[in-house]
Amino acid sequence: MSKYTKILVAIDLSEDSTVVMERARAIADIEGAELHLLHVIEPLSFAYGGDIPMDFSSIQEEIQQQATQQMEKLVERYSIDSGNQHILLGKPEVEIHAKAEELQSQLIVVGSHGRYGLALLMGSTANGVLHGASCDVLAVRVGK
C-alpha cells in the first residue's frame, strides 16, 4: 500500500471542522503527508435560484471575507502552509473533486453527519464526494 503524500481536507468551517482537521492532521503526521485545506462557498444564486432579481455581490463578498479569516486561523492552528489553503466558489462536491485531481491528492477527508432518509436525499456533500472521487475518501463522523 502506498503512502499518502497529499491530503485534501474539505471543511465547511462549522464547529465540526475541528474534528475533521484533527483526524486529517493525525494522518498527515503519520504519513508525512502535505495537507491542503479547502472550503467551497456555494454562490447565493444557487440557493435562491436565478428567479429572484437581487444583487447578492456584497453579501457574497462578506461570506468570502469571513471564510478567509476562519481559514487563516485553521492554517495557523494546524501548521498548514498558507499556500495550501483554498477557497473556491461553486458546488462543493464538484470543486472538491476538481481540486483533488489538480493536486493529485491520494486522500480526501470530509466531515459526515451520518444523515439518512429524507435528509440524505436532500443532499450530502460527503456522499457526493465519496461517489465521484478518484482517490480514497475518509468521511469523519461529526455532530451528534
Single pTM value for the model? 0.86
pLDDT at 112: 85
Q: Which fold has domain 6-141?
A: Rossmann fold (3.40.50)
pLDDT in tens, 19-43: 999 999 999 999 999 999 999 998 8
Q: 3-class secondary structure for 24-74?
A: HHHHHHHHCCEEEEEEEECCHHHHHCCCCCCCCHHHHHHHHHHHHHHHHHH
Mean per-residue pLDDT for 112-126?
A: 59
pLDDT in tens, 59-117: 888 999 999 999 999 999 999 998 999 999 999 999 999 999 999 999 999 998 765 54
**Cell 476538481 sits on residue:** 98
Please state the length of the chain: 144
Could you state, in order of their start, the residue ranges of all structural domains in the chain? Answer: 6-141
Cβ(107)–Cβ(62) under 8 Å? no
